[in-house]
Amino acid sequence: MQTNLATAQSLAERLLIAAGVPGPAAVQQAELLLVAEAKGVPSHGLLRLPRLLRRLANGTASPTNTGKHEWLSPCYLSVDGEQGLGPVVALRALAAVVPAAERHGVAVCSITNNNHLGMLGFYAGRMAERGLACLGMTTSEALVHPWGGTEAILGTNPLALGVPAQPHPLVLDMATSQISMGKVHDHALRGVPLEPGWALDADGNPTIDPVAAKDGSIAPFGGAKGYGLGLGLGAMVTFLTGAAYGKAVGGTLDDDRPSNKGDLFILMSGGGHSAGEYLDEVRRSRPADPSTPVAVPGDGARSRYQDSVADGIEIPDGLWRELTALEAVQREAALAE
């Protein structure tokens, strides 16, 4: 169904508050879900909310913990997320580390035991708007096979990269897999075959059958380089945070496993000059298709966000029914108390 952003965000906030999440934290968590919807990344949007509510209900996620901060140096913050809400823990950690980056030129925060962050690009974009270059990394469940391999042993290990610029920052947000497992599930639901090269089945054979791919693995993007990047980012996060790796990672796609992945942010303040002029030069450069100008990472998401603010967003009927039904259940439970 079609709804506007504020209506959907308000529903998400009420559901979170009824699950015991304090108001300001509910706003942060709900915003991350709605930003993903608005930017056209529904895999990181409201569909994650029912699972999160189950995790809050069964005690796997904490509604109130915001992370235990330990400064290893004036520019290195180590955070134990205490199974708090991903965006709440991450935003508090970033707020603490921004002044350190501004003062020292660079600062890092590493986070463990934290729930799913949502769109990693959100954080990189926010940092870039504050004038800081940002690299963001997070590890995830093993769904991806190595280049030359056939076992799901790598996370989709995304990288976010933000660079301040006028009029708009560059914001890259990319998984290191060719596609997401969400896309495989979507194809399976709709009965549409995958493209060759996207996935392997459980025996490690190439498949275009999305049902077979669900039990198999997805390919890294860009061949050996994309594989190397995904593995390298994952190993770096593991080395710096001590988080779980490979097949031992859980907690962002299930209801009841503690989240044991790692998150890493590197913030740097610029000694150089704005990249805005260069990015504009790239945007103005000769396109392959005269009707489609060259885009800079973040341009598309920004434009989709503006459209969503103006025109609203489309939520699958089933998901909307599930969320409103959850609210009815919460209300009854509250009345019964």
Kindly state the smallest distance separating residue 292's Cβ from a copy of itself, in Å: 6
Q: In terms of CB distance, is 2 or 285 closer to a copy of itself?
A: 285
- Which residues in 92-121 contact a copy of itself (CB under 8 A)? 103-108, 110
**Interaction residues for a copy of itself, span 136-175 (CB under 8 A):** 145-146, 148-151, 153-154, 159, 161, 163-165, 170, 172, 174
Q: How far apart are CA 203 and CA 213, in angstroms?
A: 10
Choose among 40, 121, 122: nearest CA to 314: 40
Give yes or no for residue 289 binding a copy of itself (CB under 8 A).
yes
Q: How many residues bind to a copy of itself according to rule CB under 8 A? A: 78
Nearer to a copy of itself, 22 or 242 (CB): 242
- Please report whether residue 190 would count as binding a copy of itself according to CB under 8 A: no
d(CA 105, CA 288): 39
CA separation for the pair 166, 143 (Å, rounded): 37
Instruction: Write the interaction track for a copy of itself spanning residues 195-224; mark x where CB under 8 A is met and - where it is not.
Output: ---------x----------------xxx-
Choice between 77 and 313, CB closer to a copy of itself: 77
Residues 226-265 that bind a copy of itself (CB under 8 A): 226, 228-229, 231-243, 245-246, 262
Smallest distance, Å, CB 227 to a copy of itself?
8
Q: Kindly state the smallest distance separating residue 98's Cβ from a copy of itself, in Å.
A: 15
Site string for a copy of itself, 41-80 (x = CB under 8 A): -------------------------------xxxxx-x--
The two most distant CA atoms of the chain are separated, in Å, by 65
Q: How far is the CB of 154 from a copy of itself (least distance, A)?
A: 8
The pair of three-digit structure tokens given for residue 75, joined into one six-digit string: 């520019």
CA distance 267 to 257: 30
Assign residue 81 a region (left: φ > 0; alpha: ψ between -120 and 50; beta: otherwise): alpha
Stated length of the chain = 337
* Nearest-angstrom CA–CA distance, 269 and 196: 43
Contact 145, 152 (CB under 8 A): yes
How far apart CA 56 and CA 256 sit, in angstroms, is: 10
Long-range contacts, 244-247 (Cβ 8 Å, 24+):
244/139, 245/139, 246/142, 246/153, 246/154, 247/142, 247/152, 247/153
Task: Single out the segment in contact with a copy of itself by CB under 8 A; choices: 1-9, 27-35, 39-47, 294-302.
Answer: 294-302
Tokens for 186, please give them. 């979507």
What is the nearest approach in angstroms of a copy of itself to the Cβ of residue 152? 9
Q: Are 157 and 230 in contact (CB under 8 A)?
A: yes
Residue of the chain from 266, 301, 315, 323 that contacts a copy of itself (CB under 8 A) = 266
